[in-house]
Amino acid sequence: MKKDITETVIKLLASPQKVVIVGHKNPDGDAVGSCLGLSFFLKSLGHSPNVIMPNDFPDFLKWLPGCEDIVIYEKEVEKSKELFEKADLIFTLDFNSLDRVGGELQTILENATAKFVMIDHHQQPAEYAVATYSDVKMSSTSEMVYHFMDALGETSKLSKEIAINLYTGIMTDTGSFRFASSSPTTHRVAAKLIEAGAESAIINQNVYDTNSPDRMKLLGVALNNLVILPELHTAYITMTQKELDDNNFKKGDTEGFVNYALSVKGVVFAIIFIENKQESIVKISLRSKGDFSVNDFARNHYSGGGHINAAGGKSSQDLNKTINEFISILPRYKNELTDAL
Ligand code: 5GP
Ligand code: MN
């Protein structure tokens, strides 16, 4: 973290503050882990933090220390509004612009009078914070929360609760330390978190070995729908609303499915299209290897974004049109796809 940002943060935290910590819509392991980790840390410094998420988070995270105190905006609108009104400081974690929280909550944030601090590793950070700690090279926002503690000279406050939350965020955002974003420093931070009480084997079990039979069946459907385009080094998966309904889809069930498409030999670009009739959209997750930027692809075609190798977005056309359009634009990227590795 840069010196001037550290100095700004130290001033902001010089006296006990009422803090709201916000993660992005459809919070993932990194959003929840980083927000809870930061919350425990700020509490240990004598502040009064509350974590607010725009909507609910997946069941495979519902064991994280402190998760029972998370306020879900969708479920507790009045309580959330009150917390925002009283807040001296708002920390936004794991997202780069306020439209990533969406809906009414976005308007609340845009009109908030409290000062903002951003901690995030996504590309193109928006400028709304008095202190913006943004680093796109970071594996995860959870790793950044550790560096944030370090920059404040407070790693002695690293408790077991903080360690478990941050380790979970790093582990999930790096695909268990597989992605290119896992640097030597990421591993050093992970080691410190393990030393502070994050038990890697147990965290892995809690996150990855909790599949329901329905989810396994849904994965079978997804793999059956996998289409491989070898010439374009691309693989894609489609999921209709009916397929989701037939398998009692629950939030988070399709998380990670796209990685199976990316695991096909020779594939550098993987994408999953998930129909969401309720929101009248197709939710899209994109993954890549090497230099092929799915951040650019998601920005150009799906009003989304993310990182070079992991991004998301949506289409407001129906599923068929979305797929047909995808197939028609893909050949334009043939050279980039061929040269990605
Ligand atoms: P996922 O595919 O796991 O939902 O998301 C992959 C990455 O892309 C995450 O870092 C996530 O924050 C980002 N992302 C997902 N959906 C969107 C979106 O609609 N807009 C933007 N800007 N980023 C997204
Ligand atoms: Mn993240």
Ligand 1 atom index nearest CA of 95? 12
Ligand 2 centroid vs 143 CA: distance in angstroms? 9
Model pLDDT, residue 341: 87
Question: Could you give the 3-state DSSP secondary structure of residue 254?
Answer: coil
Number of H helices and E strands in the chain, helices first, is 14, 12
Dihedral sign, Cα of residue 165, residue 52, residue 46, residue 38: positive
Mean pLDDT of 67-84: 98
Ligand 2 centroid vs 320 CA: distance in angstroms? 30
Ligand 1 centroid vs 297 CA: distance in angstroms? 12
Residue 306 CB less than 6 A away from ligand 1 = yes
Report the C-alpha gap between 162 and 44 in whole angstroms.
Answer: 10
> Measuring from atom 7 of ligand 1, which residue has the nearest CA?
311
* pLDDT over 90 (residue 251): no
Q: Contact, 101 vs 72, CB < 8 A?
A: no
Q: Which domains does the chain have, with CATH numbers?
A: 3-208 (3.90.1640.10), 213-338 (3.10.310.30)
Closest by CA position to 124, among listed 150, 149, 99, 103: 99
Ligand 1 atom index nearest CA of 255? 3
> Which phi and psi (to 5°) does residue 245 adopt?
-60, -45
> Measuring from atom 19 of ligand 1, which residue has the nearest CA?
313
Buried b (16+ CB within 10 A) or exposed e, 177-209: eebebbeeebeebbebbeebebeeeebeebbee
Model confidence at 230, pLDDT cuts 50, 70, 90, reads very high
> Measuring from atom 6 of ligand 1, which residue has the nearest CA?
311
Q: Provide, rounded to the nearest whole percent, the portion of the chain with pLDDT above 70.
A: 100
> Which tens digit of pLDDT belongs to each residue from 24-58?
999 999 999 999 999 999 999 999 999 999 999 99
Residue 285 CB less than 6 A away from ligand 1 = yes
> Measuring from atom 14 of ligand 1, which residue has the nearest CA?
312
Closest by CA position to 118, among listed 138, 133, 136, 97: 133
Ligand 2 centroid vs 60 CA: distance in angstroms? 16
> Which tens digit of pLDDT belongs to each residue from 180-192?
899 999 999 999 9
Model confidence at 285, pLDDT cuts 50, 70, 90, reads very high
Question: What separation in angstroms does the CA of 118 have from each of 1, 49, 96, 110, 122?
Answer: 12, 15, 8, 14, 11
Look up the ipTM and state it: 0.95
* pLDDT over 90 (residue 252): no
> Measuring from atom 8 of ligand 1, which residue has the nearest CA?
311
Q: Provide, rounded to the nearest whole percent, the portion of the chain with pLDDT above 90.
A: 97
Mean pLDDT of 116-127: 97
Mean pLDDT of 199-210: 96
> Which tens digit of pLDDT belongs to each residue from 144-172?
999 999 999 999 999 999 999 999 999 99
Report the C-alpha gap between 212 and 244 in whole angstroms.
Answer: 14
Residue 29 CB less than 6 A away from ligand 1 = no
- Write down the mean pLDDT value for the chain: 97
> Measuring from atom 12 of ligand 1, which residue has the nearest CA?
306
Residue 169 CB less than 6 A away from ligand 1 = no
Question: CB 28: neighbour CB atoms within 10 A?
Answer: 20
Q: How far is CA 72 from the centre of its chain?
A: 16
Q: How far is CA 124 from the centre of its chain?
A: 15
